[in-house]
A and B are shown apart, each in its own frame.
Chain A
Amino acid sequence: MSLASRSRRGLPLLAAAVLGVLAGDAFAARISRLTPPSELFASGEEAPVIARFLPGQRFDLQATIEPDAGRTIVHFDFFVDNQSTLRPFWVDGELIHDPRERLTSTVTETGPAATCINATTGRTTGASGCALVAGLPANTTVISRRAFSASTPGVHTLRVTARQDDGTTISATGNFEIVGINPESGQVAKNIVIFLGDGMGAAHRTAARIISRGYAQGKAKGLLAMDTFPHTGMVMTASLNSIVTDSAPGMQNYVTGNKANNNEEGVWPDDTRDAFDNPRYEYLSEYLHNLQGKSLGVVTTADVFDATPASMAIHTSARGNGTGIVDQFFDDRDQTGLAVLLGGGRKWFLPNPSDSVSPQPVNGSQRRKTNDYVLGDDIVNGWGVARGVLDPERDLIADFRSAGFRYAPDKSGLDAAFAAGTPDKLLGLFAYSNMNVAYDKIAGRRGDTTVVDAFGFPDQPMLDEMTDAALKVLSKNPNGFVALIEGSSIDKQAHLMDTDRWTLEVIELDRAIAVAKRFAERNPDTLVLVTADHECSGAAIIGAATVSAATLAADPDAGKSVVGIYEAAKFPKYTMAEDGYPETTHIDGKMLIGYGANADRYETWLPSRYPTRDTQQPFPPSQSPANPNVRNEGTGYLVTGQVPGDQAAHTATDIPLSAYGRGSHHFNGVFDNTDVFFKIGQIAIGGAD
């Protein structure tokens, strides 16, 4: 049951409902969606309260109305605690602000009826060129009221009402909560650094410790930098529509306090096709930039349009919309305070002036109109953001430079950017798509440049170097900063079940964490969090090889016959090189990993010479295997998968979060990923006590 009701003017609610039933409407009028999402609307239960906000944090109100057949919606309003959110504001008889005029929109199916409405069912088709998604009554109306905010702590009631052209009124009720901030609770944290080991569960951390620190007689010989953080909690990671999250909601839940659907970032789901018009809610970066003038830094080893980095600043329901995503990073820098953007993904920044008539210069740009953005007046007015333009021809690197960003195309360029002092703003695009992983970058630095050369980018920085550069730039802002630093390929390589590559990704992330820890030691008004968005692959340390590296190599089909469990696993001993990474992962008695969310794979327990294929790269080496289910086919031991598809999947397992610095003691226990946002809000605004 949804808490929706309908009435004709002057008729009691119940009588009107009966009339509706007796009339046998093909589509009885109803409100099929009320946003922010609430359990009160969905099931009638008042708890749990799904949508929560900090005082003054902006969010959109939206409803999908399915009117009676043949009817249209002529008027609507959203009420919070019975107060209209659309009341005009008058001063001395002069209209100062009319929210209805500036902040609302109404979307109906305006596309060609032949394409957009199924003649048989009378429902929307959701086809290309149409306004609404498939399966709705033809006269469905999506109404929005943008950029609402409230400041009184507590649970509030949200009621939407909509009037049809025959006078019938329908309404629905939901709720949301404003989470208060305790003021004057001691010193605040000025700088917030979030390390996100994408896909990094407990096993990933343990594996990196076993390799890089070693164990003796049951004790770790040393700790990872993240192990030294004084407080650790467990995070529940579910998204709005699944117990198993993907990276978009997995990240954005930390920095918005709200649950998103998989594939969506900074928005709730809606019933329009446009991926950029979804109802929004304010990011931590926007909130703290507006409130305190903080800067934003985004550092990743992925393509910068990837779900996790985009989930710091971008509002879209389609995490794949690369052109619009990178444009929004730049266009809304005055809203987010973006000062540092480092990672891969140069292909989205290059001008693509192509047209279908004459050939244009070749540069590998992947910018295109179909994944760019243009916003409506209501969003532009409400949020104060750029409208956007469908402009594949845009030279975004040039735009960043004109706006005062130093641009670094490689490690040498990153060093050069600091030659004449620390720049105020920094853009680094070190690869065409995702950067190479630590395993291959380190091989390149040690002289085996086969893979980095094949990808075309032989001089890529390591994540600790990127972190150091980012913190230098960001700390120039006396108001502080919010930074995301992502080890993205822990996830990508765990999906591919490439053990040798993801374990080094965790080590690379930990070396970056050590940089931030040193920064926080010097700047005690800093909070450093280390966590993940979700676990990936169901990784488990199942033991160690009972044979030498040479024997493993000689018999790659040995499978489980060489897996030493319990005491047979002993303590694998890796030798660390001066660069901070193991000399080799191909050792006698190496640590072995099993995968609980595995797809089919052929396991040899040996390192793969080439990374498994990333089709986004311009020069994918022909030696790269297409997928784990063909990698080592014919040589390895077939491990039958438990999940469909080509790759291992994310899991719903809770993940660890470790905290260091001011306010870190707030992060003990088991909590929801959205709770992290409210803890940060308290520590950054009200105080850390």
Chain B
Amino acid sequence: MHALSVSSRLLPGLLLAALSSFVHAHGEAISIPAVAARDVPRALAVRGELKAPPRGVAELKFGEIFRLPVGPQGLEPSEKLASLDGKRVRMVGYLVPLYPPADDRFLLSPLAVDIGHEDESLADNIPPTAVMVQLPTAAGATIPRIPGLIQLTGTLSVGSREDAASGRVSPVQLTLDAPAARTLRRVSRDAAKAAEPRHRH
């Protein structure tokens, strides 16, 4: 029974991974390439227990961004978050590509979610802790979907900021370290190349 159930669950998952675009209510297609699970670089993938971050890099969890319990007004940044402003941190989360597609930034979310269409503004499936991740220089290709948890190291910048193109508001931004940015650039270009239509010769 279970063998059957596992295979029936895997199939839609595989189909989903292969799907590189979806169509909006108004017929606009978003094309965002996807990376297969086996192609996620070791530097990004989270497999098993993570080692402690290197010296000079603090670990920041999504649950540590805001103060608990919530006070009478809005969410408030935690003391830990404030203390890490301008510092190097490592975060673990799920990559959420932006819409319109971007080649130099994306969201890192505590949950594996997707941005909904702009018309479905409720489709703010994005938790308010989602962090805007910035590459120091553009990847030259759309940041692709990357399955599973990823780990990123960069410099934290605290403060609510609206992304002009997507309208997304993030409480925190993370500017990637050079090695992480290089990996992202490579993955993005590879994914874009793989997504190009193949011509017969």
Contacts and interface: CB of A to CB of B under 8 A. Distances in A.
Nearest to B72: A409
Given A354-B169, A356-B161, A626-B112, A638 B5 contact: yes
Contacts of A617: 127
Nearest to A364: B75
A634 B5 CA distance: 9
A371 interface: yes
A419 to B, nearest CB: 16
A356 B75 contact: no
B99 to A, nearest CB: 10
Given A618-B66, A626-B112, A364 B171 contact: yes
Contact of B9 (A321, A366, A629): A629
Given A364-B128, A613-B111, A354 B162 contact: yes
A358, A362, A364, most chain B CB atoms within 10 A:
A362
B127 A618 contact: yes
B69 A322 contact: no
B127 A620 contact: yes
B70 A432 contact: yes
Contact of A360 (B2, B119, B121, B160): B160
Nearest to A363: B74
Given A361-B159, A397-B73, A618-B127, A318 B111 contact: no
A418 interface: no
A456 interface: yes
B73 A369 contact: no
B14 interface: no
Contacts of A363: 73-76, 160
Interface in A133-153: 133-134
A323 B112 CA distance: 25
A321 B9 CA distance: 34
Interface string A110-138: 00000000000000011110000110000
Contact of B162 (A355, A397, A407, A615): A355
B167 interface: yes
A432 B75 contact: yes
B124 to A, nearest CB: 6
Contacts of A358: 159, 161
A350 interface: yes
Contacts of B119: 275, 318
A456 B76 CA distance: 11
Chain B's interface: helix, strand, loop or mixed, by majority?
loop
B29 to A, nearest CB: 12
A281 B118 CA distance: 26
B113 A615 contact: yes
A24 interface: no
Contact of A362 (B77, B120, B167): B77
Nearest to B116: A320
Contacts of A361: 159-160
B58 interface: no
A85 interface: no
A365 B121 contact: no
B75, B158, B173, most chain A CB atoms within 10 A:
B75
Contact of B128 (A125, A355, A356, A366): A366
Interface in B47-91: 63, 66, 68-77, 81
B111 A638 contact: no
B129 interface: yes
Contacts of B159: 358-362
A619 to B, nearest CB: 6
B157 interface: yes
A370 interface: yes
Contacts of B171: 362, 364
A362 B131 CA distance: 12
Contacts of A602: 5
B196 interface: no
Contact of A356 (B26, B112, B164): B164
Interface string A252-289: 00000000000000000000010100000000000000
Contacts of B75: 362-364, 432, 456, 618
Contact of A134 (B1, B27, B71): B27
Contacts of A320: 120-124
B167 A364 contact: no
B137 interface: no
A184 interface: no
Nearest to B82: A362
Chain A's interface: helix, strand, loop or mixed, by majority?
loop
A363 B159 CA distance: 9
Contacts of A356: 161-164
A432 B119 CA distance: 22
A622 B172 CA distance: 20
A407 B72 CA distance: 9
A432 B81 CA distance: 20
A643 to B, nearest CB: 14
B162 A432 contact: no
Contacts of B112: 626
Interface string A84-113: 000000000000000000000000000000
A615 B125 contact: yes
A613 B109 CA distance: 14
A365 B160 contact: yes
B192 interface: no
Interface in B140-173: 157-164, 167, 169, 171-173
Contacts of B127: 615-618, 620
Interface string A307-321: 000000000001111
Nearest to B168: A368
A109 B120 CA distance: 22
Nearest to B85: A359
A347 interface: yes
A84 B164 CA distance: 47
Contact of A350 (B73, B120, B167): B73
B119 to A, nearest CB: 7
Contacts of B97: none
B174 interface: no
Contacts of B68: 453, 456, 619
B128 A432 contact: yes
A456 B164 contact: no
Nearest to A431: B70
A354 B172 CA distance: 12
B56 to A, nearest CB: 23
Given A356-B162, A615-B126, A365 B111 contact: no
Interface string A355-390: 110111111111011110000000000000000000
Contacts of A620: 110-111, 127
Given A320-B123, A618-B128, A638-B5, A359 B160 contact: yes
B74 A346 contact: yes
Contacts of B129: 618-619
A610 to B, nearest CB: 13
24 contacts: A126-B27, A318-B119, A320-B120, A347-B128, A352-B169, A353-B160, A355-B161, A355-B162, A359-B157, A359-B161, A362-B75, A362-B159, A363-B75, A364-B66, A364-B74, A370-B118, A409-B71, A410-B72, A457-B69, A457-B70, A618-B75, A619-B66, A626-B112, A638-B5
Interface of A: 125-128, 133-134, 273, 275, 318-323, 346-347, 350, 352-356, 358-366, 368-371, 392, 397, 407, 409-410, 413, 432, 453, 456-459, 600, 602, 613, 615-620, 622, 626, 629, 633-634, 637-638
- A-B pairs with lowest CB-CB distance, top 3: A359-B159, A320-B122, A363-B74
Given A456-B68, A618-B66, A638-B2, 7 more contacts: A125-B26, A318-B119, A353-B160, A356-B164, A358-B161, A407-B72, A600-B9
